[in-house]
A and B are shown apart, each in its own frame.
Chain A
Amino acid sequence: MQRSYFDHNATTPVSASVLKALVPALAEVYGNASSIHHHGQVAKQQLETARRQVACLIGCEAREIVFTSGGTEANNLAIFGAVLGRPAGKRHVVTTAIEHPAVLRVCDQLETTCVPVGSNGIVDPEDVSRAIRPNSALITVMHANNEVGTLQPIEEIAQVAQEAGVLFHVDGMQAAGKIPVNVKALGVDLYSLSGHKLYGPKGIGALYVKKRTHLQPYLFGGRHERELRPGTENVPGAVGLGQAAVDFCADEMGRLVLLRDRLESGILRNVPGTGVNGDTARRLPNTSNIYFDGFEGEAMVISLDLKGFAVSSGSACSSGAVEPSHVLMALGLSKDRAKSSIRFSLGASNTQEQVDDLIDAVAESAAHLRKLSPTYAHA
């Protein structure tokens, strides 16, 4: 069976150039980057080259990049590090209702105000401003939402943060490598990203820590990564992430927008009872989140997978079953509509032919599922 992958917001395949960089990094660069000898020095050089490459991707200095084991750890370090670095009486956090669990579950451990979003899936900076308290330490907001792809007004929130004297962390998992990012222009203090979302390997992430930002480490061990993240450096992972950062090409955005819009309009035109969730203008070039009235997304995901198309619905719980998306609920969708929504996220491997085949498969599955649906009013 021909398989096509339309779930690039979940993860991406390692690109050919990343793989090419990874193999010698794994095979030959085995030194410990902290060792004094030749082997250590080679590893250290490669680590620092990768750091410069990642810094270049998001417009900061190399020394402002801390490598972590992935996006979740970068978020944990940013949030815990920033908050625990403040006096005990000043540890309140402001976040939004549409963050990823890698931010929300961290905030659950702290005193947090969760700001709602509009039905367009975009947070209002004024709401963020109003949520700030005298004891606030940190604002944490995602750059691009993983499910609906909406882009958040990061510059405006950065201003709010600056005026209030509060640190600002941005979860950039879905933005870095998909759209141009410049942390200096955005005006943020902390920015997390993850290797496997941009055709790099899994198990590597990075946190931008603006110069002179005080973070308190929450993992303890050796003095690696400016004493913010102990543990022997994952040099091959960093090399892979560095290569992925170098490979980012803004031209790809235009190609993906065309493919995404072709897919979206094709589905909306061929399948009645559908619509796009979230703002259709201010969003990632590769993401489309569509509701299908009359059946559950779970059945559609399975049906499409059996036809060779990988898409996603809601968020997977520990067993692998699908739960209704907290993001779509936060946009004000009914539980039924949230459960009936499918996320299509495009990437490098997708072609126009795949998109056209997917439109046909979606239309066919939707018609079949609707035929079985007792609730759907047949036109």
Chain B
Amino acid sequence: MLSETIAVAMSGGVDSSAVAGLLHRQGAQIVGLTMQLWNQRRLPELAVEGGGAGRCCSLDDVYDARYVAQQLGIPYYVVNFEQRFEDQVVKPFIGEYLAGRTPIPCTLCNNFIKFEQFLEMAEGVGAAKIATGHYARIDFNDQSGRYEMRRSVDTAKDQTYFLFGLKQDQMARTLFPLGGYLKPQVRELARELGIPVADKPDSQEICFVPNGDYAGFIDAYFREQGVASEQTRGEIVNTDGEVLGEHEGVHHFTVGQRRGLGIAAGEPLYVIATKPAEHLVVVGRNRDLLRARLTAQDVNWISVDAIRVPMRAEVKIRNKHLAASAMLSPTSDPNRIDVHFDEPQRAVTPGQGAVFYSGELVLGGGWIE
């Protein structure tokens, strides 16, 4: 009986609530689980007006998820993944910034928490599959024998950029019931199902960082741990090495950033690179941000097997980026792929993902070196 059970990751938001409602209506045996990932009472200095309601893992969200589960009459539990989230998402997130890269914690969370620990927990409590509210589609291709991933029908909500790390065995046990819906349809569905959170606003930005102030978060985290923030205060230089000003630490900057430099110049200046070892922030003109090549590391292939010969694809280098045509070339290291764009792309940012598409099909992706 329990082998048919599906564990739904319920955040208390409209999407995952709709997933629970949808599967319940289809007659599936489901159990709702909310992942407690981060204690919002930690780092009280970052407290925002309203006590952080609506951010991930707030008591209000748990209350909403529990209420939805109760309305549906399904078993529901909160599971504590705080330790693993801190070790495998928060600490690497901080480490990446300090190393001068711009991390994507959502992808780490997908790789190590949602599609690893959550899958394990689901299986442990007797659920053969998990379902989440991600906007993406998974299908099995009989010919290739692989699980394929496609962008969601709602292109604006598509979350495949964050899912490039999914392995075949994870996809085999994962359902994305919302991949074929438009967001307004999901809200309508939630209303139809009598889900009380149908009008709740979408969550924004990085769930554990209030107001998007990641630098403030990093400083507060170090203070909590009782260690001095790594001092990477230093100089702002141009591409010729001329000193233009000073900065408070390289982790305050990301490639392509324009605001917050505090330098008056004739033309707009942008961060081109950060060099943590030398405490340098390099700035330049918009055209200095253009790059035609990048190398992606730790590449994971999804809809196709690893490539041995060059292959054309469209490549997305950040979530809001419009996928650009490029040639993918294997390197001597099977985990690294060279990407050569047809047209140079603005702000290729180390630490972000490079995700390879062929139309709506997600081929795979890796991390920008």
Contact = CB atoms under 8 A, between A and B. Distances in A.
Interface of A: 295, 298-299, 302-303, 305-306, 317-323, 368-369, 372
Given A306-B2, A306-B31, A372-B120, A321 B125 contact: no
A298 B80 contact: yes
27 contacts: A298-B121, A299-B125, A302-B31, A302-B77, A302-B121, A302-B124, A302-B125, A303-B124, A303-B125, A305-B75, A305-B77, A306-B2, A306-B31, A306-B75, A306-B126, A318-B59, A319-B34, A319-B57, A319-B62, A320-B62, A321-B36, A321-B79, A321-B82, A323-B80, A369-B124, A372-B120, A372-B124
Contact of A320 (B31, B39, B78, B126): B78
B120 A302 contact: no
Contacts of A322: 79-80
A302 B74 CA distance: 13
Interface centre among A302, A323, A369, A372 (most CB of B within 10 A): A302
Contacts of A295: 124
B123 interface: yes
A299 B121 contact: yes
Q: A-B pairs with the 10 shortest C-beta distances?
A: A321-B80, A321-B36, A299-B124, A320-B78, A321-B78, A302-B125, A319-B62, A303-B125, A369-B124, A302-B77
Contacts of A319: 34, 36, 57, 59, 62, 78
Interface string B296-339: 00000000000000000000000000000000000000000000
Contacts of A303: 124-126
A322 B57 CA distance: 14
A323 B2 CA distance: 27
Contacts of A369: 124
Contacts of B59: 318-319
A79 B39 CA distance: 30
Interface string B117-154: 00011011110000000000000000000000000000
A368 B124 CA distance: 7
A298 B120 contact: no
Nearest to A301: B77
A299 B118 CA distance: 11
Contacts of B75: 305-306
Which of B39, B59, B126 gathers the greatest number of chain A CB atoms within 10 Å?
B126
Contacts of B39: 317
